[in-house]
């Protein structure tokens, strides 16, 4: 007789057996199926777009809905946050939408996706109850939470309600529950303010590190290595030797990865803006390759694409990183493109299924 405790492991083993991961070139740790007005690509069409290139995808929508204010933009319906001054608000139905899309697939296709919970307000002490409720209503579906945002250029100030903060106890509740349930956390937090003065310490670095230190049991992926569209890589002094570049972005990432108390921290190199900075010069490529080769277990590739219409659009960030891949060791290249995804998300699947087995009633199942 199969015991209750063995069931999650058996389910995970069946999913892994149904999915030939080695047959694909890359996995995607950061993908939005829908956009800022909750429109997107049909999941079956997206499977066609993934094709034989992309094996597995961390799947989520966007937790924020862009309001259409007629007084602001008239008949023009904005689909992106930069197209209007109207506010953004949290859209919790995105989680049910993603779960429904995932559940519409057969078992073999489901094995290629790791849905993530995003429809919560990180400044709300009740946010953790939303996350717990999603697991209870959709057991067997979700692997993590995110991408959700604390500090993001031009976005944070547009969100209706309280301003999210790295020091908010509501965020601590979220991180603590994620650690308890085994959920991966994918967080967007710019390392600095937009257009920061050269030479100043990154505004949010200390707060982010303190948050991570408070939650050593929680697996965290810091999206975009802390960069943004106008939150540029932190620069070192011109002409400084590598050993004298403590404030260079690669140096900051490297220092965080060196910290034995932050072994639960990972970075993704998703988004075309991040790729732009990394491949900008031979020096920037060498700096990035050095850090990745030194810490091959701690970096994941992601696209950060939003509802792409075709494979060329979907894979543009992967192709943008073309100059980087040859600079990585064979081990690092394999881990960044696939191995780290499989290790982290497989472990999270197992832990979350075990938490559900112990905490979700048979009625909910």
Give domain status of residue 242, yes or no. Answer: no
Question: Does residue 203 surpass a pLDDT of 90?
Answer: no
Question: Does residue 242 surpass a pLDDT of 80?
Answer: no
Give domain status of residue 186, yes or no. Answer: yes
Give domain status of residue 16, yes or no. Answer: no
Pairing of strands 64-66, 88-90: antiparallel
Does residue 24 contact residue 53 with C-beta atoms inside 8 Å? Answer: yes
Sheet holding 299-300, edge to edge: 299-300, 265-268, 220-222, 184-188, 144-149, 113-117, 54-60, 26-32, 305-306
Does residue 184 contact residue 145 with C-beta atoms inside 8 Å? Answer: yes
Domain that holds residue 138: 25-236+248-359
Mean pLDDT of 116-127: 97
End-to-end CA distance of the chain: 20
- Tokens for 346? 């497989």
Q: Mean pLDDT over all residues of the chain?
A: 88
Does residue 38 contact residue 77 with C-beta atoms inside 8 Å? Answer: no
Give domain status of residue 187, yes or no. Answer: yes
Mean pLDDT of 179-193: 92
Number of domain units in the chain: 1
pLDDT reported for residue 236: 47
pLDDT above 90 as % of the chain: 73
Least confident of 46-50, 160-164, 309-313, 344-348: 160-164
Confidence of residue 241 (pLDDT cuts 50, 70, 90): very low
pLDDT in tens, 260-295: 999 999 999 999 999 999 999 999 999 999 999 999
- The CA distance from 340 to 194, in Å, is 31
Question: Does residue 47 surpass a pLDDT of 60?
Answer: yes
Confidence of residue 191 (pLDDT cuts 50, 70, 90): confident
Strand partners, 145: 117, 185
Mean pLDDT of 229-252: 57
- The CA distance from 40 to 232, in Å, is 29
Question: Does residue 237 surpass a pLDDT of 70?
Answer: no
Mean pLDDT of 37-62: 97
Confidence of residue 243 (pLDDT cuts 50, 70, 90): very low
Question: Does residue 64 surpass a pLDDT of 50?
Answer: yes
pLDDT in tens, 16-35: 444 455 689 999 999 999 99
Question: Does residue 10 surpass a pLDDT of 70?
Answer: no
Give domain status of residue 365, yes or no. Answer: no
- The CA distance from 101 to 98, in Å, is 5
Confidence of residue 155 (pLDDT cuts 50, 70, 90): confident
Give domain status of residue 192, yes or no. Answer: yes
Give domain status of residue 337, yes or no. Answer: yes
Give domain status of residue 13, yes or no. Answer: no
Confidence of residue 232 (pLDDT cuts 50, 70, 90): low
Mean pLDDT of 95-121: 98
CATH number at residue 32: 3.20.20.140
Does residue 351 contact residue 9 with C-beta atoms inside 8 Å? Answer: no
């Amino acid at each position: 007789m199969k015991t209750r405790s063995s069931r999650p492991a058996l389910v995970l083993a069946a999913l892994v057996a149904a999915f030939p991961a080695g047959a694909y070139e890359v996995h995607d740790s950061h993908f939005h199926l829908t956009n800022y007005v909750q429109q997107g690509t049909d999941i079956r069409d997206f499977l066609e777009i993934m094709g034989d290139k992309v094996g597995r995808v961390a799947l989520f929508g966007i937790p924020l809905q862009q309001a259409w204010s007629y007084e602001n933009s008239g008949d023009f319906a904005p689909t992106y946050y930069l197209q209007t001054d109207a506010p953004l608000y949290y859209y919790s139905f995105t989680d049910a939408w993603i779960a429904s899309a995932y559940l519409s697939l057969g078992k073999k296709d489901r094995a290629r996706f790791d849905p993530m919970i995003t429809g919560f307000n990180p400044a709300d002490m009740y946010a953790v109850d939303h996350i717990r409720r999603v697991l209870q209503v959709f057991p067997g579906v979700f692997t993590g939470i995110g991408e959700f945002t604390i500090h993001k250029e031009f976005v944070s100030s547009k969100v209706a309600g309280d301003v999210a903060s790295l020091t908010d106890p509501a965020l601590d509740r979220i991180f603590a529950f994620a650690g308890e349930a085994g959920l991966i956390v994918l967080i967007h937090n710019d390392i600095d303010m937009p257009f920061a003065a050269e030479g100043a310490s990154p505004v949010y670095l200390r707060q982010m590190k303190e948050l991570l230190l408070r939650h050593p049991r929680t697996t965290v992926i810091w999206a975009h290595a802390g960069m943004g569209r106008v939150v540029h890589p932190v620069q070192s002094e011109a002409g400084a030797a590598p050993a004298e570049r403590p404030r260079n972005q690669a140096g900051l990432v490297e220092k965080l990865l060196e910290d034995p108390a932050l072994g639960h921290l990972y970075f993704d190199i998703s988004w075309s803006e991040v790729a732009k900075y990394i491949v900008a010069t031979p020096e920037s490529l060498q700096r990035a390759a050095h850090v990745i080769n030194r810490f091959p277990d701690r970096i994941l590739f992601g696209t950060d694409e939003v509802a792409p219409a075709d494979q060329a659009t979907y894979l543009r960030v992967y192709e943008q990183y073309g100059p980087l891949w040859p600079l990585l060791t064979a081990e690092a290249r394999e881990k960044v493109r696939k191995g780290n995804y499989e290790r982290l998300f497989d472990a999270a699947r197992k832990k979350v299924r075990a938490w559900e087995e112990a905490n979700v009633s048979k009625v909910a199942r």
